[in-house]
Amino acid sequence: VDLLTAAPGDMPAQVQAIIDNGGRVFVAGLGVPRDVVNLCHDNNVLVASMCGKVRHAVAAVAAGCDLVIAQGTEAGGHTGTVATMALVPQIVDVVENKVPVVAAGGLFDGRGLAAALSLGAEGVWMGTRFIATPEAWGTPGYKEKLLSMAEDDTVVSKGFTGKTCRVARNDYTQYWEEHASEIEPFPAQFIRSINDGANHLGAGPNTEVDPSREFWPAGQGVGAINELVPAGDLVRSIVAEAEAVIDRMSTLR
């Protein structure tokens, strides 16, 4: 469930809808109001917060979040400037085991899972890799685009939402790179990109989109994603690969 389009004042009502429909975890991408945390906890729903800086994690723990997701700049979608390798251990250090830290950004296989655990994370969050599955919902061409992209085919653009968002580079991101001073703040730019026909976020396979302009979030791990893999197989292969990495590492001792 993506609450990006929820106006701030609507958030408790939207979260109540998630609770009413059986949600178990609420993940906030743009900060967590205290009343939302309380609402979730009163209903046995865990609250997680995507954190792009060390001080975001400090604030998330102080606000009562149950999980901190340390998301590096290489992640697809809304993202910050600090990269996963540097961010995760620095967030682990300030969180001090008060809550589990989950690593996100640039992770796509078992090597990344093992690396994240090495940095002190308790788990990983993979986004782009799971969009490239038969099960994932998305507009036509999105998955094929992911399979074709190299590691340097993403760009951080404010063109689609008004906030820094890592997406597939295309004519629309290029336009806004050349007209940066005209970008409006969120949510006005979000509405602008919808009106421009370049943003069908949340829409499915029966939507008509222009691949040269569409809003397709993607992380920098995308260059390693070369086939659609069923999500269950993906989870099993990632875990098996991480186990093999750990076994290989043990032989270094």
> Is 50 or 245 the residue whose CB approaches a copy of itself more closely?
245
Query: What residues line the site for a copy of itself (CB under 8 A)?
Result: 53-55, 72-74, 80-87, 89-90, 93, 105-109, 111-112, 114-120, 150-152, 219-221, 223-224, 243, 245-247, 249-250, 252-253
| Minimum CB distance to a copy of itself, residue 103 (Å) | 8
Question: Any idea what DSSP says for residue 9?
Answer: G
> Is 26 or 127 the residue whose CB approaches a copy of itself more closely?
127
> Is 88 or 99 the residue whose CB approaches a copy of itself more closely?
88
| Minimum CB distance to a copy of itself, residue 37 (Å) | 24
> Is 44 or 253 the residue whose CB approaches a copy of itself more closely?
253
| Minimum CB distance to a copy of itself, residue 50 (Å) | 15
CA distance 105 to 121: 13
Q: Is 156 helix (H, G, I), strand (E, B) or coil?
A: strand
CB neighbours (10 Å) of residue 149?
Answer: 19
Give the contacts of 46 (CB within 8 A, at least 6 positions apart).
24, 25, 26, 40, 66, 67
| Minimum CB distance to a copy of itself, residue 178 (Å) | 12
Inter-residue contact 223 to 150 (CB < 8 Å): yes
> Is 199 or 220 the residue whose CB approaches a copy of itself more closely?
220
CA distance 112 to 117: 9
| Minimum CB distance to a copy of itself, residue 80 (Å) | 8
| Minimum CB distance to a copy of itself, residue 244 (Å) | 10
Place of tokens 């540097």: 86
> Is 16 or 174 the residue whose CB approaches a copy of itself more closely?
174
Instruction: Give all strands (DSSP E) within the chain, no chain letters.
Output: 25-28, 46-51, 67-71, 77-78, 101-104, 123-125, 154-157, 165-168
- Token pair of 249, please? 């590492």
